[in-house]
């Protein structure tokens, strides 16, 4: 089980089920992934359903995290996929046990209540 990191600055990749990728940086990975999952902000990740954390690195310095984000964004897609698959060959959602509910769980429960 992967523990949710609590301190630092994070460069991360979230993906859709069809492997559309989004690269970002944040100081609060748990909160930011939650926002992606629940589509709290309009934009790329909401539009393309990028809601699965598939890779991240932690840094003590925000400038290094930002530099890494820009570096990764400049890579070709194949290189990004290779990076993800070195650490997460099955593209498992690394945040799957960080929250009590996932959006899919909520939708299933709501569907059961409405039938």
Is residue 3 assigned to a domain? no
Residue 4 lies in a domain: no
Tens of pLDDT, residues 33-71: 999 999 999 999 999 999 999 999 999 999 999 999 999
Contact 39/22 with Cβ under 8 angstroms? no
CB 103 within 8 A of CB 17: no
Q: Is pLDDT at 99 greater than 90 in this prediction? A: no
Residue 28 lies in a domain: yes
Whether the pLDDT of residue 86 is over 60: the answer is: yes
User: Which residue segment(s) compose the domain that 51 sits in?
Assistant: 9-113
Q: Which among 86, 23, 8 has a CA at the least distance from the CA of 53?
A: 23
Give a yes or no: residue 109 inside a domain. Answer: yes
N-terminal to C-terminal alpha carbon distance within the chain: 35
Give a yes or no: residue 60 inside a domain: yes
| Whole-number pLDDT of residue 96 | 87
Q: How many domains does the chain have?
A: 1
What pLDDT does 88 receive? Answer: 97
CA atoms within 13 A on the CB side of 98: 21
From the list 33, 29, 22, the residue with the least C-alpha distance to 8 is 29
2 lies in some domain: no
pLDDT 10s digits, 16-26:
999 999 999 99
Is residue 88 situated within a structural domain?
yes
We report the CATH number of the domain holding residue 17 as 3.40.1440.10
């Amino acid at each position: 089980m992967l523990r949710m990191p609590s301190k630092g600055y994070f460069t991360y990749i979230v993906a859709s089920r069809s492997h559309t990728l989004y690269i970002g940086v944040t100081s609060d990975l748990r909160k930011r992934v939650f926002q992606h999952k629940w589509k709290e902000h309009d934009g790329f990740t909401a539009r393309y359903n990028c809601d699965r954390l598939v890779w991240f690195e932690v840094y003590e310095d925000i400038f290094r995290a930002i530099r890494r984000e820009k570096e990764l964004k400049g890579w070709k897609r194949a290189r990004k996929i290779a990076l993800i698959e070195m650490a997460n060959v099955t593209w498992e959602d690394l945040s799957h046990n960080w929250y009590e509910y996932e959006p899919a769980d909520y939708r299933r429960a709501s569907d059961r209540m409405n039938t």
